[in-house]
Amino acid sequence: MNYFSSNFKLGILGGGQLGKMLLTETRKLDIYTCILDSNTEAPCKIGSNEFHLGSLMDFDTVYQFGKQVDVLTIEIENVNIDALEKLEKEGVTVYPASKTLRIIQNKAKQKLFYVDENLPTAPFSRFAYVSEIEDAIENGGLKFPFVWKAAQFGYDGNGVKVVRNLEDLKKLPKGECIAEELIPFKNELAVIVSRNAKGEVKTFPVVEMEFHPEANQVEYVICPARIEPEIAKKAERIALKTSEAFKHVGLLAVEMFLTQDNEILINEVAPRPHNSGHQTIEANYTSQFEQHIRAILNLPLGSTANKAGGIMVNLVGAEGYTGNVIYQNIEEIMNMEGVTPHIYGKKETRPFRKMGHVTIVNKDINEARKIAEEVKNTIKVISK
C-alpha cells in the first residue's frame, strides 16, 4: 500500500503528548493523520490533518471515527475496546489489537496473563472491592506493607499506592484492585520491543528509571542502563518473551524490577510509545515514535542502536502552582551542551502534571547524568 502522499488515512485515539510526537513522524513521511480526543486544547490539535472532538470511551464515537481511517492505533490505553473489536471484524486494521488491549487495560487481567504465560512477576492477590482487602488482612492472607493498584484507569503514579497500615487503606477508591507484594528492588528497568505484522522484532537498549519519591513518577530515564551486560541481556530476553506472548504489533514497553538478588520481575506493560523511550528522539538512530509508525504500517523496522548516551528528565508542574504555564529558566538549560527541551503544548500547569521533557545526550552517561541533575535544578514549571 502507498502510505505516503496518498489517500491513506491513519487514525490515532488520543491527542496528548505521545500523539503529538507521533505526528512529528507522520508529518515527516507525509502520512495523512486523524486524531480523536475529548480535549479542545489537546496537544495534537495542531499538527494533525484532521482533529475530531469526542470521548475515547464512547462506543459510537470511537466506532464512527475508526470507520473513516485505514489503520487505527492508540496513544493511551483507556479507549472503548468493544468499538475496536467491531472495527476489526469490519476490516479496519487496529494495532494494538483489541484482545491485547483487553488484557492490558485491566491490571488484574494483565497479572494473571503473566502467570498463565509463565512470565516472572511479583506475587499478588486480586480483589473485587477494597473492603475484601481488610478481610484478607484479618484472616492472615495479606500482610502490610503491600502495593495497592487500581485494576483500571491508573496513569502516571495515579492508581498506585504503598499501603502500610489500615489508615492508608481507608483513603483508597473502593473498586476492583490488586494487592502486590512490595518488592525491595535495586532498580527499575524498561525495554521497548517493536514488532511489525511480518513478525520482524527489534528491542531498544535497556533503560534504567529513577523515580520521584512522592509523585511516583519517573524523574530520569537513563540509557544505556548502568547495569552488568548479563543483566541487560536477561531483561531483553524477558521483554522479548513478553512481546511474543502478547503477539502485539507496534511497540510494547515492558517495565521491570531488578531485585536485590538480580532476579527480574515484570511490573507492567504499555502497548504504545512510552515515557521510557522519549530520549530515543535525540539519542538513537530511530526514535520510538518513528518505530511505532514503521511497525503498525508493516514497514521495515529501523536501527534501535544508541548514537550517544541519553537521559530524559520529565518536566512536571511544580508544587503550589496551578494556572497558565511559565517555563522558568528555560533559556539557561538551552545554553547547556547536548540539552534539548520538548514542550508538550499544555497551556495549564498543575502539581506533577507532565508538561514536557528534556533530553541530555553525551558520549559519557555519567556526565549526562550530572547535566541532567543541573537541568532538573534549573528549570521550573510554574504559573503566573
Query: Is position 181 annotated in a ligand binding site?
Result: yes
The three cell numbers of residue 166 are: 489500615
Phi, psi of 175, deg, nearest 5:
-80, -165
Q: What is the DSSP string of 126-140?
A: EESSTHHHHHHHHTT
Three-state secondary structure call for residue 307 = coil
Query: Is position 346 annotated in a ligand binding site?
Result: no
CA Rg value for the chain? 21
Strand pairing report for 32-37 and 9-13: parallel
Query: Is position 149 annotated in a ligand binding site?
Result: yes
Query: Is position 107 annotated in a ligand binding site?
Result: yes
Strand pairing report for 354-362 and 309-316: antiparallel
Query: Is position 290 annotated in a ligand binding site?
Result: no
Query: Is position 263 annotated in a ligand binding site?
Result: no
Query: Is position 85 annotated in a ligand binding site?
Result: no
Which parts of 183-338 are beta strand (E)? 185-195, 201-203, 207-211, 218-223, 250-259, 264-270, 309-316, 323-328
Backbone torsion region of residue 146, taken as left when φ is above 0, otherwise alpha when ψ lies between -120 and 50, otherwise beta: beta
DSSP 8-state symbol, 44: G
Torsion angle, alpha carbons of 327, 17, 173, 106, to 10 = -160
Please state, in angstroms and rounded to a whole number, the distance separating the CA atoms of residues 204 and 77. 21
Residues placed in the known binding site = 107, 149, 180-183, 188, 267-268
Residues placed in the known binding site for ATP = 107, 149, 180-183, 188, 267-268
